[in-house]
Amino acid sequence: MSDASADWNFFSNYAHVLVCLAENPDARLRDVAERVGITERTALRLVTQLEQAGILSRVKEGRRNSYIIEPNERLRHPIEAHCTVGELLETILSPADFKMLAQRFTGKKRRSKKRTAVRDT
């Protein structure tokens, strides 16, 4: 990768944090921050904002947090608002990781009226 191409990414840090938590819902924010390349404080701020937007929920398990992603939530910008969080994750995650994510939501039976956001692959 050249130096010029290292200055930008297609996805924001919000998406990167979301992908990390989709892959490992029990991840420590310290580990998420390190993987994304941000500070732990920034990771906490992004998770808090994703939680306030209804995209994920934090569940306290002892001294640790676990994160539940809401796959039927729509993306926020008008250009991508026709897509859901689940569809975004299906594009980014490996097939094995997406299948695990989809299995976590099968039992919840969270379905949108128009279509299922998390499909079995």
Residue-level pLDDT at 2: 55
Q: Enumerate the domain spans of the chain.
A: 11-106
In sequence order, the β-bridge partners of residue 74 are 84
Beta carbons of 22 and 69 less than 8 angstroms apart? yes
Question: How far is the C-alpha of 11 from the C-alpha of 119, rounded, in Å?
Answer: 22
Question: What is the pTM (predicted TM-score) of this model?
Answer: 0.79
CATH architecture designation of domain 11-106: Orthogonal Bundle (1.10)
Residue-level pLDDT at 108: 53
Return the percentage of the chain with pLDDT > 90, whole number: 67
Quickly tell me which residue has 């904002």 as its tokens.
49
